[in-house]
Amino acid sequence: MLLTIDDFDFNGKTVALRVDINSPIDVNNGIILDDTRIKACVDTIKELSNKGAKVVILAHQSRPGKKDFTTLQSHAVKLSEVLGMEVEYIDDMFGSHAINSIKRMSNGDILLLENVRFYSEEVLNDWKKWEGITPKKQAKTIMLKKIYILFDYFINDAFAAAHRAQPSLVGLAYYMPAIAGRIMEKEIKILSKVIQNPERPSIFVLGGAKVDDSIDVIKNVLNNNFADKVLTTGIVANIFLIAKGYNIGPNKKLIEDMGYLNQVEIAKELLNKHGNKIVIPIDVALNVNGTRKEVKLNLNEEITHPIHDIGSETIKLYDEIISNAKTIVANGPAGVFENKNFLKGTEELLKSMAKTYAFTVIGGGHLSAAAGVVGVSDKINHISTGGGACIEFLAGKKLPVIELLKESYQKYKK
């Protein structure tokens, strides 16, 4: 159980609202190229403002050292545009300018403070280790001790960052109620349903390059009987092909270079335990000097070129399974979809999902982008705002932000 916006009266209250509006930016002019995440948090911001709250937004953009690590000035402009309400940008987070700006706010006002990752305490390596680190430690950072007293409530709507334990995400929960925003509430509700109480048959389609995360999801959904079948694509499928004894030639070296060769033994164990539920490709598309060449897989033949997609026979097989499903969860593209010669697998599987009557969910990241390219985003029931957070949730891992929201419910529910 979580505390939600419905549980409190925000009129006249000052609210710290943590969102994730980390967006692709043109590094030459600062223009935001994709405002999907900004649009996603509009409902929470507008609702709080309409209820008379003084809304102080905390957010980040990229990380130190990257070309798109910049201020949140463009984000404030875009937020104002999509909200149809003024969002004042403050180029400070805990200094006198920020503090005085918060103190002079009127009911319904909206402020966006500076990129929290400009401050060293937010990006300490210590925060990557959740075990043994309490919210108290994050709460005692200077950046939060200077401003926490200004707030009545802390609302966390940054589901995409829920797997992190940085001060701006968890520290304020030490001082005041931590409340789920509308994005957070929706993500947890939907993702909990598809892994704990899905309509059957429930199918997971897992691909992409994050092999260890995807295999953790496979372990979780099959060991706990949350899924009836798992369809594998991408590097994930290649791991299972090796586990089944296929010689995939140079593709094995790629997996070794990526540091995932240790996942082969785990895949073997999963095949031994759940072999009838794990479906692997029967043909693949090779990149032969830039052209697409489909070949059937044969245990006695070596693959001599890079595998960049699943083949037509596999697409047909997967489409048949998807068409009979009642719940479908997909994460990661089927191949190198950025190259039009190898978009076919990803495109056809997304179209298969879009035409079913099943409840469909796509994890964030590359597959979400691919759905936009293919033009089926509006035909998917739920596209998660979180990439890493989504897959860790599906894998059954504890996410620091969600754990704190649960603790806050127990502390403040009365």
Distance CA 230, CA 403 (A): 28
Distance CA 337, CA 292 (A): 12
Per-residue pLDDT at 290: 93
Distance CA 211, CA 331 (A): 11
Per-residue pLDDT at 337: 92
Per-residue pLDDT at 208: 84
Distance CA 49, CA 12 (A): 10
Per-residue pLDDT at 57: 98
Amino acid at 281: P
Long-range contacts of 136-141, Cβ-Cβ distance < 8 Å, separation of 24 or more: 136/174, 138/165, 138/166, 138/167, 138/170, 138/171, 138/174, 139/167, 139/171, 139/172, 139/173, 139/174, 139/175, 140/171, 141/167, 141/171
Per-residue pLDDT at 131: 67
Contact between residue 317 and residue 348 where contact means Cβ atoms under 8 Å apart? no
Amino acid at 78: K
Q: Tokens for 118, please give them.
A: 């400009």
Distance CA 232, CA 279 (A): 6
The residues pairing with 325 across neighbouring beta strands, listed in sequence order, are none
Contact between residue 81 and residue 105 where contact means Cβ atoms under 8 Å apart? no
Contact between residue 5 and residue 179 where contact means Cβ atoms under 8 Å apart? yes
pTM: 0.93
Low-confidence ranges of the chain (pLDDT < 70): 131-132
Contact between residue 389 and residue 163 where contact means Cβ atoms under 8 Å apart? yes
Instruction: Give the Cβ contact number of residue 332 at 10 Å.
Output: 28
Distance CA 399, CA 390 (A): 10
